[in-house]
């Protein structure tokens, strides 16, 4: 096969062309048809195929995640049961509104039971959180070091949650000279907590909505 064979091609008499020339021409026509078909027909098909593969991978990932969750579902349910038990136990340590007076009395009696002299016992303003309210109590008592420590220990053993904060202890001899046994003064902020009832939670949510609406 020579170059002259292509220069002198007579397409009207293509049947008499040399076999090698026919093979080259057929190969060229095949490549031309393939390129034309790829560009106009197969490009969109390949794009759709790539999109379908990506979607398949996404669905496979979602399926594996859901499968893992389904396998661990029993464990998750058991965890929820344990969490609810723990939450319920903690909630029982929070008095309701009607029990707050009794709790304040318990705190006061814990001090009196240790022979402490109260100079101040003043409940403050409540602040509300999502499901509970916190009440600070300003306390100032006089007593010996041992009695003050025992009082703090008794508070920690109450069935309800009470915390002692901002504790300050000073020499009380000069502050209370008439009481020789009152050697120390302790000033402390006790914080007690109670859970909000249904009406209070509803009212708080409405108030929060109003605050957000007013801030916009």
Q: What is the domain partition of the chain in residue ranges?
A: 1-71, 97-200
Q: Say what the pLDDT of residue 81 is.
A: 75
Three-state SS letters, the chain? CCHHHHHCCCHHHHHHCCHHHHHHHHHHHHHHHHHHHHHHHHHHHHHHHHHHHHHHHHHHHHHHHHHHHHHCHHHHHHHHHHHHHHHHHHHHCCCCHHHHHHHHHHHHHHHHHCCCEEEEEEECCCEECCCEEEEEEEEEEEECHHHHHHHHHHHHCCCCCEEEEEEEEEECCCCCCCCCCCCEEEEEEEEEEEECCHHHHHHHHHHHHHHHHHHC
Query: pLDDT (tens digit, 9 = 90+) per residue, 30-51?
Result: 677 666 666 666 666 667 777 8
- Whether residue 20 is predicted with pLDDT greater than 70 in this model: the reply is no
Share of the chain above pLDDT 70, in %: 68
Q: What is the mean pLDDT of residues 63-87?
A: 75
The dotted CATH code for 97-200 is 3.30.70.60
Query: pLDDT (tens digit, 9 = 90+) per residue, 108-154?
Result: 999 999 999 999 999 999 888 777 888 899 999 998 889 999 999 99
- 77-81, 115-119, 183-187: least confidently modelled range: 77-81
Residue 207 pLDDT grade (very low, low, confident, very high; cuts 50, 70, 90): confident
Q: Say what the pLDDT of residue 177 is.
A: 46
- Whether residue 185 is predicted with pLDDT greater than 70 in this model: the reply is yes
Q: Say what the pLDDT of residue 164 is.
A: 93
Q: Say what the pLDDT of residue 168 is.
A: 93
- Whether residue 171 is predicted with pLDDT greater than 90 in this model: the reply is no
The more confidently predicted of residues 98 and 161 is: 161
**pTM score, two decimals?**
0.51
C-alpha 44/C-alpha 47 separation (Å) is 5
> 2 φ, ψ to 5°?
-120, 165
C-alpha 48/C-alpha 54 separation (Å) is 10
């Amino acid at each position: 096969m020579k170059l002259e064979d292509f220069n002198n091609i007579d397409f009207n008499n293509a049947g008499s062309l040399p076999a090698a020339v026919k093979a080259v021409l057929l190969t060229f026509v095949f490549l031309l048809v393939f390129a034309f078909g790829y560009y106009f027909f197969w490009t969109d098909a390949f794009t759709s195929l790539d999109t379908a593969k990506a979607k398949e991978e996404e669905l496979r990932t979602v399926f594996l995640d859901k499968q893992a969750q389904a396998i661990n579902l029993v464990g998750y349910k058991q965890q929820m049961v344990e969490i609810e038990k723990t939450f319920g136990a903690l909630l029982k340590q929070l008095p309701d509104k009607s029990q707050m007076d009794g709790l304040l009395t318990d705190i006061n009696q814990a001090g009196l039971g240790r022979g402490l002299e109260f100079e101040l016992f003043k409940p403050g303003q409540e602040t509300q959180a999502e499901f509970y309210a916190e009440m600070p109590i300003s306390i100032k008592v006089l007593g010996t070091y041992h009695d003050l420590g025992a009082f703090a220990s008794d508070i920690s053993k109450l069935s309800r949650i009470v915390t002692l904060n901002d504790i300050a202890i000073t020499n009380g001899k000069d502050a209370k000279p008439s009481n020789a046994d009152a050697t120390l003064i302790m000033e402390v902020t006790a914080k007690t907590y109670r859970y909000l009832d249904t009406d209070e939670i509803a009212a708080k949510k409405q108030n929060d909505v109003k605050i957000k609406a007013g801030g916009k």
